[in-house]
A and B are shown apart, each in its own frame.
Chain A
Amino acid sequence: MSKLLNTLIEDARVWQGHRQTRTTQPAEPTGYQALDNQLGGLGWPRGALSECLLDAPGIGELQLVLPLMQRLSHAGKTVFWLNPPHTPYAPALARDGVNLDQIVMIRTEDSGDLLWTLENCLRSPVTGLVLAWPGKLAARDIRRLQLAAEAGSNVCVLFRSRRLADQSSPAALRLELEAGEHQDLRIKVLKRRGSWPGQRCTLAMGRRADLPVTESNRVVQGPWSASAP
C-alpha cells in the first residue's frame, strides 16, 4: 500500500501544496524555452490530455504546437487533426517544414463518432500528436479520453473555448491563450501536474507572418537567443 502511495507522490499524481515534486512524467518539449521553463522544464505531457483554451483562431495557437508537429511528423509519427474549425492550409504547413505525409485530417458527424475516433487515435502506437476541436464535452468524456491517452502515451491537445477556463477538467495541462498587444501570445497555466498553477509567459509569435521582431524586450521571460525553433 505504501508503495502505491509512494508512486502516486513521486509521479506527482497527488498534488501537495507544501512540497513541489518534480514530475517524472514523460513529456515532449514545446520548442519554446520560456514555456518549457514554466512547465517544469518538460513541455507537453505525453500520455495525458492538454487543453488550450482560446476565444478565436488566429492568435498563434497553431504556432504553439508547430515545433512539436514538425518534430513528430519527421520522426514518422502521424499527426491527426480532428474537426478543425477551418482548413489547415497545406502550402503553409509545407513551408513550415511539416511532413504532410504524416498529417491526417478527420471530420466526424456527431460527438459519438468524435469520441470514438479520438480514443482510437490515442490508443494507437502510430500516433504522435492529436489535435482536436471537440466542441462540447462532458467531464465524463474527458475522463475517458484521459484514460485512452494514458494507454497510448501520445500528446493530445484539445482546443476549447476560453469560457471553460473556470470549469474543472481532468486534463493534465490546461493553458489559457490570449492575444497580446504586438502579435504575441500570452499563456496562463491554469493547471499542471506537480506544481502550483498560475505561471504566465508571453511568446512572440510575430514570425508566423514574418513580422519584424522588434518587441523582444517586452517579453517577460526567456532566453530568446536559445529558443529560436
Chain B
Amino acid sequence: MLWAYLHFPHLLLDHIRRSRNGRDEANEENSKPALVVVDQSAQRVLQACPQAQAQGVQAGMRLKTAINLVPELAIAHADPGREQQILVEQARWLYRHVASIVLHPPDGLLVEVGSLEKLYGGLAAVWQTLEQALSERHLTAWMATGATPLAARLCARAGQGQCTADKVHMERHLHNLPLAAAGFDDRTLTRLQRLGLTQMGEVMTLPPAELARRLAPETLARVQKIQGSRPDPQQPWQPPHHFRQQADFVQDIERAEGLLFPLQRILTELEEDLCWRQQDTDSLLLVLTHRHHEPTRLRIRTSGPEHRAEAFLNLMRLRFEQHPLPAPVASLVLSVRRFLGREAAAGNDLLGETRDLNEAWHTLISRLQARLGNDALQQLSPQPDHRPERAWSASEVQRKPRPAISDLTSLPRRPLWLLNGPQALPEAPVAWYSGPERISGGWWDGQRVHRDYYIAGLSSGQLAWVFRDVRGGWFVHGWFG
C-alpha cells in the first residue's frame, strides 16, 4: 500500500484569507492588513500570513512583539473545534478525488493512493490532480508519500515530501530524516540524542529487543509502525450526508453585499458537491453569527429541486434586500441537510422544452416567495363540505398534479367570487332568479350554518349570491363575476 499525507501548515490562516479575498478587490492586495493566528490565551503567534512574515512577524513570536512590528495587525484566535470543521470541509472535496481518507486532526489528511495509480495512470497524475485542487482553493499543503501511514506523515510534516512510489528511494529518504522530526516525546528524544543518534535511520537499525528493553516498548512500537513491521490500522473517514461550509471574517461585515462574495464561493462548492452526488436540494440554512447579537438564521427555500449556485445566490440577494442585517456579521455557516435525488429529464418532447418550463416555473415561484414570503402565494382547491366558507382551501404552491374532480357537472352552481365574510344586503334585490337552496350543516364541529341561498340581481346590475339565515337577516355571500 502506498500512502500520501497532506499537511496543512496554516489551515486556519488560509481559511480566513480565502473568506476575505476579493471582498475589496478594488483595493491593492497590500491594503489588506497582515493577518496572524494566535493561540487561545492570545500570547503567541501560531501562524502568520506571508505579508506579516515580510514585515518580520514569525510563528512562535510573542503577540506583543508582533503588534509592535505591525501595528495594524489583524488577529484571529485559534479554536480546535473550528479547525476540525475546516479540516472536514477539506476532506469533503478531497473525497471526490480519492476513495480512502483518514483525518489526522488538527491539520492533516492521510490518503491511500496506491489503489488510485491505475485509475489516474500513475502516481504523478494523482499528485498533479491534488496539487491543482489545492491551488484552486488557495490552500497551502505539504504532501509526501510513504510506505506506511506514519512514514508519510512524518515526511510531510518535516516539509520534505517527495512524489515517489519507489520503495528504496522512500526508505533512504526516511533514514535521512532528522530525529527531531520523528515525533518522539521529549524524554525519549533526549535519551536517543544522548545515545549519539541524530537520524531516523540510526534508530531503525537498532535491534528491536534492545530498543524495547533500554528505552520503552512504546518507542519500539512507534519505530515499528514507521517501518511497517507492526500493523497501524487507520479509521477511514466517510463523508457525512450533509453539506456544511463556513466563512469567518476578521473584520465584521456590515453590509449584505459583502456577504455575497464568500457566499458565492460556498455556493459554487455546493453546486459542485451536488453535481458529484447527482442530487438537488430545496432548502438551505444560512446562519449569520454576530458578536453582540443572537445569530440570525435564514432559511432559504426554493419551490423545487435546485442545484445551481446562481439561483441560490439570486434568492439570497432578494432576501437580503428585504431583510437588512440586524448587526455586523462575524462569520457565516451554510448548511444543507435535505437532499433530493435528481430526476432524469422527462423525455416528453424532442427538444426538452418541458424541462425548461419546469425549471422556469420553479425559478419564478421561488423568486416571488423569496420577496413576498411563502404565505403570499396560494393555490386553491375545493373541499368536501357543504358550508360555502369551508368548501375551499388555500395551500402553499406546489407543482404536483392533484387528483382531478371526476364529475364536474354534479357540483352545484356557485359564484366565482366568494366574499371574505357575508355582508349585509344593502338593498332589496330587483330580481330573483333561483332559490332557495338550503345549506344546513356544521352541527358536528360547532360552526353551525343554516341558511337559504338565492341568486338575485341587484339594481346595479350585479348578480349576487344572497342568503337568509335563521334569524331572518339577509346577507350577500358572493358575486357571480
- Please give the residue numbers on chain A whose beta carbons come within 8 Å of chain B beta carbons, in ascending order: 55-63, 66, 76, 78, 84-97, 99-101, 103-109, 113, 116-117, 120-121, 124-127, 178-181, 183, 208-211
**Contacting residue for B461 out of A66, A103, A105, A179, CB 8 A:** A179
Q: Which residues of the partner chain A approach B361 to less than 8 Å between Cβ atoms?
A: 78, 124, 126
- Are A100 and B462 interface neighbours, CB within 8 A? no
* Dominant SS among interface residues on chain B: mixed
| B65-97 at interface with A (beta carbon < 8 Å) | none
Bound complex: CA A99 to CA B308 (Å): 31
Please judge, given known A-B contacts A93-B416, A211-B433, whether A57 and B481 are in contact too, CB under 8 Å. yes
- Are A121 and B364 interface neighbours, CB within 8 A? yes
Bound complex: CA A76 to CA B481 (Å): 24
| B408-460 at interface with A (beta carbon < 8 Å) | 408-409, 411, 413-420, 433-434, 455, 457-458, 460
Which of B360, B371, B413 neighbours the largest number of chain A CB atoms within 10 Å of its CB? B413
B361: nearest chain-A partner, CB-CB: A126
22 A-B residue contacts at CB 8 Å?
A55-B460, A57-B481, A58-B463, A63-B481, A86-B418, A89-B415, A89-B416, A90-B380, A90-B392, A104-B377, A104-B379, A105-B377, A106-B368, A106-B377, A120-B368, A125-B356, A127-B364, A179-B462, A209-B433, A209-B463, A209-B480, A210-B434
Please judge, given known A-B contacts A87-B420, A90-B380, A209-B413, whether A60 and B357 are in contact too, CB under 8 Å. no
- Are A124 and B379 interface neighbours, CB within 8 A? no
B433: nearest chain-A partner, CB-CB: A211
Bound complex: CA A60 to CA B383 (Å): 25
Nearest CB of chain B from residue A147's CB, rounded to whole Å: 18
- B 362-393 binary contact with A (CB < 8 Å = 1; else 0): 01110110011000111111110000100111
B481: nearest chain-A partner, CB-CB: A62
- Are B462 and A108 interface neighbours, CB within 8 A? no
Query: Could you say which interface size class chain B belongs to?
Result: 35 or more
Q: Which residues of the partner chain B approach A178 to less than 8 Å between Cβ atoms?
A: 461
Determine if B475 is an interface residue (Cβ-Cβ < 8 Å).
no
**Contacting residue for B479 out of A57, A94, A106, A113, CB 8 A:** A57
Determine if B275 is an interface residue (Cβ-Cβ < 8 Å).
no
- Are A113 and B372 interface neighbours, CB within 8 A? yes
A208: nearest chain-B partner, CB-CB: B480
**Contacting residue for B463 out of A84, A85, A96, A208, CB 8 A:** A208
**Contacting residue for B376 out of A62, A91, A108, A126, CB 8 A:** A108
Determine if B401 is an interface residue (Cβ-Cβ < 8 Å).
yes
- Are B481 and A100 interface neighbours, CB within 8 A? no
**Contacting residue for A87 out of B382, B383, B392, B413, CB 8 A:** B392
Determine if B464 is an interface residue (Cβ-Cβ < 8 Å).
yes
Determine if B402 is an interface residue (Cβ-Cβ < 8 Å).
yes
- Are B455 and A209 interface neighbours, CB within 8 A? yes
- Are B457 and A104 interface neighbours, CB within 8 A? no
Q: Which residues of the partner chain A approach B379 to less than 8 Å between Cβ atoms?
A: 100-101, 103-105
Q: Top 7 A-B pairs ranked by shortest CB distance?
A: A179-B461, A58-B479, A58-B462, A62-B481, A90-B392, A92-B414, A90-B380
Determine if B212 is an interface residue (Cβ-Cβ < 8 Å).
no
A97: nearest chain-B partner, CB-CB: B408
**Contacting residue for A90 out of B372, B382, B457, B462, CB 8 A:** B382
- Are A124 and B360 interface neighbours, CB within 8 A? yes
Q: Which residues of the partner chain A approach B478 to less than 8 Å between Cβ atoms?
A: 86, 89
Determine if B394 is an interface residue (Cβ-Cβ < 8 Å).
yes
Bound complex: CA A10 to CA B409 (Å): 46
List 12 additional contacts besides A58-B463, A90-B381; criterion CB under 8 Å.
A55-B460, A60-B481, A63-B480, A63-B481, A86-B417, A87-B419, A92-B414, A94-B405, A95-B411, A105-B394, A113-B371, A183-B461
- Are A104 and B378 interface neighbours, CB within 8 A? yes
Please judge, given known A-B contacts A63-B481, A101-B402, whether A91 and B463 are in contact too, CB under 8 Å. no
Q: Which residues of the partner chain B approach A125 to less than 8 Å between Cβ atoms?
A: 356-357, 360
Nearest CB of chain A from residue B464's CB, rounded to whole Å: 6
**Contacting residue for B364 out of A89, A91, A93, A124, CB 8 A:** A124
| B307-359 at interface with A (beta carbon < 8 Å) | 356-357
Nearest CB of chain A from residue B94's CB, rounded to whole Å: 40
Nearest CB of chain A from residue B385's CB, rounded to whole Å: 10
B401: nearest chain-A partner, CB-CB: A101
Please judge, given known A-B contacts A94-B408, A100-B381, whether A58 and B480 are in contact too, CB under 8 Å. yes
Bound complex: CA A117 to CA B365 (Å): 10
Nearest CB of chain A from residue B422's CB, rounded to whole Å: 12
